Amino acid sequence: MSGLTGPRAGTPFPLTYEQDRFHTKTRSADWSHKNVQLAFEILGDLDTGALAAAVRAFAVRHDALHLQLAAAPGPRPLQWTRPIDADEDVVQRTHVKAASPGQFSHYASALLSRDCVTPWSYGTQRPFRMRLLRYDRHHHALLATFQNLVFDGRAHHLFGHEVWRDYAALRRGESSPATAPSFAEAAVRQRAGTGARQRERALASWRERLAFLTRASWTAPAGARRTEAGMVGVELPAATVAALRGLCARSRFTVLQSTVAFFVSALAARTGRSAVGLWTSMDSRASRDSDVVGMFAGSCPLTVHDAAADALSVRTQVREQLLNALRHQRLTADEIAALTREAEEAGGAPVSRDLYVNLRRYEGDASVADDGGRLRITADAYPLHKIAFHDSFALHLRCTEFRDRLDIDLLYDGHRADRRLARSVLDDMVAGITSAVRGARPDEG
């Protein structure tokens, strides 16, 4: 496979497996469109020219942002690249005449919200929109939205990392990198590298896990009361995260693997469930493609057969499930749909999709000083307004790991899982994490 080269600009090539699955979902009548969105509040003496140049350089060198599909793509479309033109505007720069910083922030949120739900017009439109808003010399907002067909969680991280890295380099008089690993090449490698044996193993793995999920359907715990849907959350501080990270390193787990295990254990304790089936989004990038911007993330099932076991056993089960899912992601939407029908017909029950975990990891701090302390940059500073997306999960765990903190949010639907259950599960998770890091010994592992 090492001799493969990526297609030239304008030459069609297939979607990745994850793109295929996402595109199939977009054709569903009950699907609600939502772009990937990023937003940074920037306080301080910003060099707007350098930031615009850094953003443009990111778009120019990452060919996933050059992707095009036919104006009316069918169920199995091909894609091709159309590079950014030399005189093409990539960043829209706007001076916002707001009456106050609060009004400016509200405007930024409203604009980001509109961009978030605006579908990509296939044909010639770029699959992204980037805006640099100015309130005054010391207060700016960088907003970006990307069509999910070309952008996933890893790409989300790479954007923030590379743009601010390049901004600093440009401020020093240095240049931005001119090239980046090609998504088109990675997509061709992924398809060409999936042999019959790998596919059969993936089919067998999914068949087993989906069958489990027909037997592990969710039922509301005894005593549950219907409440409004909502969310409970907690932010674990840097000291706790550092201690957890050290514990995980010694025992060869990741922080996010352990966090999911604490969730499963808490859920088992609060519901009496010994078998827990849940879903997550898995990044199938090969190690050589870790810095490729594009779409390689797709949902997959995880099955924990003994969720009531001791903490180490549950962590081990979760880790093995995540590794197993990573090895067996390369299936098309049609193949997964066929396996789902097969499992439901054999099991006489639907595949449970009531529990979901969403895991994100960033290498830097949540809020950072940059450019020699001249800037304060805060990610996710502008919440979306007047947008409601139906969450089909009874419980939806969202974990975001930064270097200096771990954010844990638990959404509940109010019907199958009420606020009291969500609160107790989250409290048990935090208690479990706190107990583990306090009781850890340096020689554990």
Task: Give the DSSP letter string of 235-293.
Answer: EE-HHHHHHHHHHHHHHT--HHHHHHHHHHHHHHHHH--S-EEEEEEEE---GGGTT--
- Nearest of 27, 48, 155 to residue 91 by alpha carbon: 48
Domain 13-188, CATH class in plain words: alpha beta
Residue 333 has pLDDT above 60, yes or no: yes
Residue 212 has pLDDT above 50, yes or no: yes
Domain coordinates of the chain in residue numbers?
13-188, 195-354+393-439
Average pLDDT over residues 33-49: 93
The sign of the dihedral angle between the CA atoms of 310, 312, 318, 323 is: negative
Mean pLDDT over the full length of the chain? 90
The band of 224, judged by pLDDT with boundaries at 50, 70 and 90, is: confident
CA distance 42 to 225: 43
CA distance 310 to 257: 15
Q: Pull the structure tokens for residue 46.
A: 């910003």
- Nearest of 206, 173, 205, 216 to residue 50 by alpha carbon: 173
Per-residue model confidence (pLDDT) at position 445: 39
Same fold, 13-188 and 195-354+393-439: yes
What crossing angle do the helices spanning 419-439 and 238-251 adopt, rounded to 10°? 70
Higher-confidence position of 50 and 438: 50
The pTM score is 0.89
- Which residues lie closer than 8 Å to 122 by C-beta, 6 or more apart? 68, 69, 70, 71, 72, 73
Residue keyed to tokens 């749909």: 337
Domain 195-354+393-439, CATH class in plain words: alpha beta
